[in-house]
Chains A and B, each alone.
Chain A
Amino acid sequence: MATLYRAASPDSLIVVPVDLLTAIYHRASSQTHLMASPAPEILQALAGVPLDAAALLAKLRADYDLVDADPGALIARLDELVETGLVERR
């Protein structure tokens, strides 16, 4: 079975777009993250809805008109987000 990914619940995050980067405060860890696209978009897509990487890619492609979506790069970004504690694998 494919790995599912789930983001921290939206009410545990404060998300403030600063410029090209987005500042995110994670209440559970008291940590501040400064993130570039597509990390904030991934967090939004996974908010409350566990998805596997293929379904997430399809959702991002539909929501953001991605033309050169790369599954390998998406897995790398997901791994980074898991490292931060903002996304969990299930």
Chain B
Amino acid sequence: MRHHFSVAIGPVGFRVGSDWRGPVAALEQLYASYPKPQDGIADFTVRLFADRPWRRVFRPKVMIGGDFVLPEAAPLSLEHGLLAAEMAMNLQMALGQRRYLLLHASAVERDGKALVMTGLSGAGKSTLAALLMTRGWRLMGDEFALLDPATGLIHAFPRLISLKNEAIQVMQEAAPDGMFGPLLADTPKGAIRHLVPDARSIAAMLEPARPALILFPTFGHAAVTREVAASEVFVRLTQASTNYVALAERGFAALTRLVTETSARAIDYPDTQSAIAQVEALWRAL
């Protein structure tokens, strides 16, 4: 492919090849402070390509590919090339990751302990993680938490934080000095803008943390906190993992250990300020 980019995000190395300069230029700029894959060897390869030769230039459409593909993935317009690259990298992780149990969750760390937040799309797990990052927590990731079956530790995967719709404004106000990517309007997920994790989160991205609290946030209700039974956490996390079945016995052992050793709470919150207060109160009470 004409244009290439490589990056290490946490313990995972990526190589991105693209028919166009644009998406690679955006990645180079936003991932400028990240290291390269160890020994130059990437775990996953991502390809951004034109589905027909003329689509490189005429109404360019980006198809995403790589080691693992979803056959029905729809092409994106070239203006959304950065989103295509991020989606393709996520897809490689979701379909190909075998070393860690992949939890579709955000994670932040404080005092060497990890807070893992999971929930349906729109529950606010990305926004909460990004907000906590501006309040002294280390961002471990806004999309995937990597659970190591060998140790029970959570490993970080601090890719660019993907802010959607209202969360863009919230984070522009909370992190005025943050490095933001271009505003991608009218994507299939609405407006998207990427935020680069802060320097501390990137510098510490190879440091794992012991999980201390699993949180299930739900936006749009009066503030309530309730305990969640370990068996319910187990079921929810099997559903929130993209590779639980593939990891077989290792996945089972890792997940039963996580849910029996880690506290879990569900919070309903009416606004992000309440959510932050609820999280900090739960954390103090651990």
- Say whether A23 contacts B229, CB under 8 Å: no
Binary interface encoding of chain B residues 229-242 relative to chain A, with 1 for a CB under 8 A from any of its CBs, else 0: 11100110010000
A34 touches B249 (CB 8 A): no
Q: Which of B229, B252, B259 has the most CB of A within 10 A?
A: B252
Which residues 3-31 of A have a CB within 8 angstroms of B?
A: 14, 16, 18-21, 23, 25, 27, 30
- Whether the Cβ atoms of A18 and B256 lie closer than 8 Å is yes
A9 CB → nearest B CB, Å:
15
Cβ–Cβ contact A19 & B253, under 8 A: no
Q: Complex Cα distance A76/B260, Å?
A: 30
A18 to B259, Cβ gap below 8 A? yes
Partner of A23, one of B245, B248, B249, B256: B256
Query: Counting CB contacts under 8 A, is A32 at the interface?
Result: yes
- Which residues of chain B from 12 to 50 have a CB within 8 Å of any chain A CB? none
Which B residues lie within 8 Å of A25 (CB)?
249, 252-253
**B interface majority secondary structure:** helix
Q: For the complex, give the distance between the alpha carbons of A27 and B252 in Å.
A: 11
| Residue from B230, B238, B245, B249 within 8 A of A19 (CB atoms) | B230
Question: Considering the complex, which residues of chain B in the window 240-286 have a beta carbon less than 8 Å from any beta carbon of chain A?
Answer: 245, 248-249, 252-253, 256, 259-260
Contact of A14 among B231, B234, B252, B259 (CB under 8 A): B252
Pair A19/B256 contact, Cβ less than 8 Å:
no
Whole-angstrom distance from the CB of B260 to the nearest CB of chain A?
A: 6
- Please give, as numbers and ranges, the residues of chain B lying within 8 Å of A32 by CB-CB distance: 238, 252
Asked if A34 contacts B248 (CB within 8 A), the reply is: no
Report how far A20 CA is from B260 CA in the complex, Å.
Answer: 12
Inter-chain CA distance A23–B254, complex, in Å, is 12
Give min CB distance, A22 to chain B, whole Å: 9
Q: What are the residues of chain B within 8 A of A18 when measuring CB–CB? A: 230-231, 234, 256, 259-260
Are A30 and B245 interface neighbours, CB within 8 A? yes
With A23-B234, A34-B234 as contacts: A14 and B253 at CB distance below 8 Å: yes
Contacts of B238 in A (CB 8 A): 32
B234 neighbours in A (Cβ, 8 Å) = 18, 23, 34
